[in-house]
Amino acid sequence: MANDIFILAEHLNGKLADITFEMTGKAKELAAAFGGQAVAVLLGSGAKSLAESIGADTVLYVDDSTLAEFNPEAYSRVLAAMIKERGPRVVMMGNTSVGMDLGAGLSVMAGLPLIAYVNGLAADGGMFVATSQIYGGKIQAEAVPDGEACIVSCLAGAFPADAGRGSAPVEQIASPVPLDDLKVKFVKLIQPEGGDVDITQQPILVSIGRGIGGQENIELAQELAEALGAAVSASRPITDAGWLPKTRQVGKSGLTVKPKVYLAFGISGAPEHLEGMRGAELIIAVNTDPKAPIFDVAHYGATCDMLDLLPALTEKVKGG
Amino acid sequence: MNIVVPIKQIPNLTDELEINGDGTGLDHDALQYVLNEFDEHAIEEAVLAKESAGGAVTVVGVDTTGELDGALHTALAKGADKAAKITGDFPRGTDSHTQARLLAEAIKDMSPDIVLTGVQAADDRDGQIGPMIAAHLGMPYVGVVTGVTVSGGKAVVHKEYAGGVMAEFEVSLPMVVGVQAAHQPPRYAPVSKIRQIAKTAKIDEIAGGEVAGAGSTVRRMFKPEAAGHAEMWDGSPEEVAEKIVAMIKEKGLLK
Ligand SMILES: Cc1cc2nc3c(=O)[nH]c(=O)nc-3n(C[C@H](O)[C@H](O)[C@H](O)COP(=O)(O)OP(=O)(O)OC[C@H]3O[C@@H](n4cnc5c(N)ncnc54)[C@H](O)[C@@H]3O)c2cc1C
């Protein structure tokens, strides 16, 4: 078996996702420790220039018209064939909307273990050790695969991206398997509707989570935002409930924001939320649970009831 | 249309999670279990699909807690038609690979047109169950889905990417879907209705096979040592409000 580390390159709209570089940097370190190569695998169509901008040891670029856009079935088939043919030691993919469709299925197809939600990876002697962040960020689990080889799905932001930028020799190949009988057909990409407010451009965000309790309380956040000249953003449950538009959602499937001040009220701090806001300059969190993971990324925190705090804060702001 | 919804119980994350004596897993005896929140969305999406396209919804889970009946009764109260549980000697916290294989075996006999399950669960350390079920059944899988519309042997699904971008796929049935969020928030089932159903409902029991193992071994489980922790402010809401205002002023964002 080869000691190569495969990295699935992720791209959308003609742009590589940061997770590609994050994993590539880490893969180079692991490959060096195991005596193999960091091999980025890019599936696409007419995307050679993207393949050329990954700083792996080598890039395998599979060009096929069915791979122009992400298609879970096509990707799974191609990757399963490549894993079988080339027997990498580790296959890395993002624990992203793309990787979440692939890793677990490939694990069954290829008969390899999968370690998910990975935010730490190391070579320890001849062994491969992966740390997963589970239970909504409350627990870390350090695990080793039972066999030699393994698939891991990595959390976005877990590793620095810079070490994975650069370029590498690109080997272009045709799909190793036929892709003409797919049951999944990509139809189109749907861009988000333009929101009333662009939360990525606000210096202050009043961000609310499930702790707000009910739709009738949204107003309290809006009043505060108005007084501050800020905008209201939210965690996913709030936009899922339709209490605020999707364009106000911060996180993995929402937007990444970097305001000067991020006020997180009634947000637990699930990894998917942190992904979108940990880059804020100043984070102040209010949550009744002193153990909420949001306090691990916040600079300042308080455990009072947000429903008492919001009106008090609005008053103070208005009072000057 | 035959809709199957595999569900999973997970520890209640609002409880304190304690690690067991040898430091390799959770102390499961100390935990309360709840239905995985994404599975609640899968149940809702299934009932919505049935209401619009007709058919029947079957909810099925591996009974790892001895308490799955409650979740199944709730699903029935919300509009599912049938419920089944896979029984055997399964410890709490049984790995995803085992649960997926057991579920796939049970689901095969149910000849589903569409399998809707939660996109992930907080304890999926060895991977998400949906894509594994799909691989076992040889069905296509699309996850992180927020909308499913079924008609004429095909499903149209909307899959989410970051930043609110979505992809639309057309998939021939049967397929497995990993539901991120239903078209509408999961409906509420009144406790009185659940109680009434608990008295009369029949839950099919399916004898499950062996625990397969995750394929990886946890050497150590620990609570994350945060790189930092917020400096905590005590005091009344008024006092906290004052401190927040002071910080914002310090940033020059408020006069
Ligand atoms: C693929 C995928 C993508 C996702 N994308 C996103 C995303 O983009 N953004 C996102 O946010 N989530 C996302 N999620 C969901 C994420 O996993 C969490 O479910 C979500 O972030 C939880 O939101 P929350 O913190 O508001 O709610 P909860 O986790 O329910 O937390 C509510 C908090 O409020 C506190 N609270 C309750 N009452 C009060 C009160 N009166 N005063 C103060 N505090 C109170 C509680 O102590 C608790 O900590 C995604 C999940 C998946 C699987």
Stretch B2-31: mean pLDDT: 94
Sorting pLDDT into bands at 50, 70 and 90, what band is B227? confident
Stretch B219-243: mean pLDDT: 92
Whole-prediction pTM value?
A: 0.93
Stretch A204-232: mean pLDDT: 97
Q: Determine the Cα–Cα distance for residues A15 and A22; give it in Å rounded to an integer.
A: 15
Query: For the stretch A113-141, what's the b/e string if a residue is b when 16 or more beta carbons lie within 10 angstroms of its beta carbon?
Result: bbbbbbbbbebeeeebbbbbbbbbbbbbb
Contact A135 B122 (CB under 8 A): yes
Q: Using alpha carbons, select from A6, A18, A193, A183 the residue that is nearest to residue A96.
A: A18
Q: Determine the Cα–Cα distance for residues A231 and A257; give it in Å rounded to an integer.
A: 12
Sorting pLDDT into bands at 50, 70 and 90, what band is B15? confident
Q: Whose CA is nearest to atom 8 of ligand 1?
A: A251
Ligand 1 atom closest to Cα of A235? 11
Residue of A nearest to B241 (CA): A313
Stretch B197-221: mean pLDDT: 95
Expressed in angstroms, the distance from the first to the final Cα of chain B is: 62
Q: Whose CA is nearest to atom 23 of ligand 1?
A: A235
Those of residues 136-195 in B touching chain A at CB distance below 8 A are: 136, 140-144, 156, 158-172, 175, 178, 180-181, 184-185
ipTM: 0.94
Q: In angstroms, what is the span from residue A272 Cα to ligand 1's centroid?
A: 9
pLDDT beyond 70 at A161 = yes
Out of B131, B175, B216, whose CB is closest to A150?
B216
Contacts made by residues B32-37, CB under 8 angstroms, sequence distance 24+: B33/B9, B33/B65, B33/B67, B33/B92, B34/B9, B34/B10, B35/B7, B35/B8, B35/B9, B35/B10, B35/B71, B35/B74, B36/B7, B36/B8, B36/B9, B36/B10, B36/B118, B36/B121, B36/B122, B37/B118
pLDDT above 90: percentage of residues in chain A: 92
What is chain A's mean pLDDT, rounded? 95
Q: Determine the Cα–Cα distance for residues A212 and A220; give it in Å rounded to an integer.
A: 9
Least confident of A250-254, A262-266, B70-74: A250-254
Residues in chain A: 320
Hey, is the C-beta of B199 within 8 angstroms of any chain A C-beta? no
pLDDT above 70: percentage of residues in chain A: 99
pLDDT of residue B162: 87
pLDDT in tens, A90-103: 999 999 999 999 99
Chain A environment of B114 (Cβ under 8 Å):
none
**Ligand 1 neighbours by CB, cut-off 6 Å:** A 209-211, 235-237, 249-254, 266-268, 270, 272-273, 276, 286-289, 292, 305-307; B 119-120, 144, 180
Residue of B nearest to A306 (CA): B237
Cβ A248 vs Cβ A200: under 8 Å: no
Half-sphere exposure of A224 (CA within 13 A, CB side): 28
Sorting pLDDT into bands at 50, 70 and 90, what band is B163? confident
pLDDT in tens, B108-133: 999 999 999 999 999 999 999 999 99
Contact A139 B251 (CB under 8 A): no
pLDDT beyond 80 at B255 = no
User: What number of C-beta contacts closer than 8 Å exist between A and B?
Assistant: 291
Distance to chain A for B107, nearest Cα, Å: 17
pLDDT of residue B68: 97
pLDDT beyond 80 at A194 = no
Least confident of A19-28, A112-121, A306-315, B158-167: B158-167
pLDDT in tens, B87-111: 999 999 999 999 999 999 999 999 9
Chain A environment of B164 (Cβ under 8 Å):
191-192, 246-247, 249, 253-255
Least confident of A83-87, A160-164, A316-320: A316-320
Assigned token pair, A51: 């393949």
Q: In angstroms, what is the span from residue B231 Cα to ligand 1's centroid?
A: 21
pLDDT beyond 80 at B179 = yes
Contact B163 A70 (CB under 8 A): no
Sorting pLDDT into bands at 50, 70 and 90, what band is A193? confident
Sorting pLDDT into bands at 50, 70 and 90, what band is A2? confident
Stretch A226-238: mean pLDDT: 96
Q: Using alpha carbons, select from A310, A282, A284 the residue that is nearest to residue A295.
A: A284
Q: Determine the Cα–Cα distance for residues A79 and A85; give it in Å rounded to an integer.
A: 10
pLDDT beyond 80 at A56 = yes
Q: Using alpha carbons, select from B102, B108, B70 the residue that is nearest to residue B201.
A: B70
**Which residues make beta-bridge pairs with B217?**
A144
pLDDT of residue B212: 85
| A200, A252, A310, best to mutate for ligand 1 pocket (most atoms within 8 Å of CB) | A252
Sorting pLDDT into bands at 50, 70 and 90, what band is A320? low
Stretch B46-52: mean pLDDT: 95
User: Quick check: helix, strand or coil at residue B46?
Assistant: helix
| A273, A291, A297, A309, best to mutate for ligand 1 pocket (most atoms within 8 Å of CB) | A273
Half-sphere exposure of A162 (CA within 13 A, CB side): 0
Q: In angstroms, what is the span from residue A81 Cα to ligand 1's centroid?
A: 38
Who wins on pLDDT, B117 or A125? B117
pLDDT beyond 70 at A1 = no
Residue of B nearest to A236 (CA): B181
